[in-house]
Amino acid sequence: MRVNKLLSSALYTVSALLFLIPQRVCGAEVVYSWHTNDKNIALTFDDGPHPVHTPEILDILEEYGIKATFFTIGQNVEWYNDIFQMEYAAGHEIGNHTYSHLNLRQLPYRAVCREIEQAENLVYETVEYRTRLLRPPEGAFGNDLCKAAAELDYTVICWSVDTLDWAHTPSDRIVQNVLENVKGGDIILFHDYISGDSPTPEALRTIIPALLDEGYHFVTVSELLNLK
Ligand SMILES: [Zn+2]
């Protein structure tokens, strides 16, 4: 009986510890969400900058005094460089979403490194900031990405709530999905680059005040992970 009790308490401790430690794959840290007792959550925006949607989202974030994390695509940083600089100047965190948004699982190791480094260098040349967080396009990765992330000193950031805004999901369904599923430590996936109309700004206008009312704090991914 006592042994069983000890065993179950040891198992509980091990599982609690495992929950605290980010998942490690091939030496790279891969984070989907963060264990925290605080009501901290991170809004993340992929694929931008976009000439219309990004400024609209920046305005909403500014209205509520919120900092988010933008996983930018190198090519879009080149094309919409002034918008990228606005994003950075507003104090948002910049993450690396590769140079040309290829599926990294299908690329050889050298090409994976090139995709990451090309985007990193472009951001550095523009604002003298070195990206340290990597979000693989479509969340697709394999051994080569893990090896490259470890080698290039990146933490791989996935997500725990997918808003499906990229599929032009109606904003009321995005709102419902987020509000019903969110918890402290979540990393929420949005996109600031969507071709055509975007449901994201309208959804944010409901989601942000609702979660603030519930006592949530919006933080950048680095703040969520206590990286700075
Ligand atoms: Zn993407």
Report pLDDT for 28: 80
Cα(94) to centroid(ligand 1), Å: 14
Task: Please answer whether residues 165 and 199 qualify as being in contact, where contact means their C-beta atoms are separated by less than 8 angstroms.
Answer: yes
Cα(181) to centroid(ligand 1), Å: 22
Q: Does the annotation count 191 as an active-site position?
A: yes
Q: Which two tokens stand for residue 137?
A: 């396009």
Report pLDDT for 153: 96
- Calculate mean pLDDT across residues 70-89: 98
Report pLDDT for 227: 85
Cα(213) to centroid(ligand 1), Å: 30
Q: What is the pLDDT of residues 18-63, one digit of tens each?
A: 444 445 555 688 999 999 999 999 999 999 999 999 999 999 999 9
Report pLDDT for 228: 64
Which candidate, 205, 208, 179, 174, places its Cα nearest to that of 190? 174
Q: Does the annotation count 46 as an active-site position?
A: yes
Cα(133) to centroid(ligand 1), Å: 14
| Residues that place a CB less than 5 A from ion ligand 1 | 46-47, 137
Give dist(CA 90, CA 208) in Å, integer: 18
Which architecture, in CATH terms, is 24-224?
A: Alpha-Beta Barrel (3.20)
- Calculate mean pLDDT across residues 74-82: 98
Q: Which two tokens stand for residue 105?
A: 């699982």
Cα(106) to centroid(ligand 1), Å: 15
3-state secondary structure 59-75: HHHHHCCCCCEEEECHH
- From the list 35, 46, 172, 186, the catalytic residue is 46
Sequence spans of domains, the chain: 24-224
**220 pLDDT higher than 60:** yes
Which candidate, 128, 25, 168, 137, places its Cα nearest to that of 71? 137
Give dist(CA 50, CA 190) in Å, integer: 13
Give dist(CA 76, CA 193) in Å, integer: 9
Residue with the larger pLDDT of the pair 20 and 89: 89
Using the structure block, give the residue that is written with the tokens 């969400």: 33
**168 pLDDT higher than 70:** yes
Cα(13) to centroid(ligand 1), Å: 37
Q: What is the pLDDT of residues 139-166, one digit of tens each?
A: 998 999 999 999 999 999 999 999 999 9
Burial class for 139, CB neighbours closer than 10 Å (0-12, 13-18, 19+): middle
Give the DSSP per-residue string, 50-107: -TTHHHHHHHHHHHTT---EEEE-HHHHHHTHHHHHHHHHTT-EEEE--SS---GGGS
Q: Say what the pTM is.
A: 0.89
- From the list 50, 92, 101, 191, the catalytic residue is 191
% of the chain exceeding 90 in pLDDT: 84
Give dist(CA 133, CA 157) in Å, integer: 6
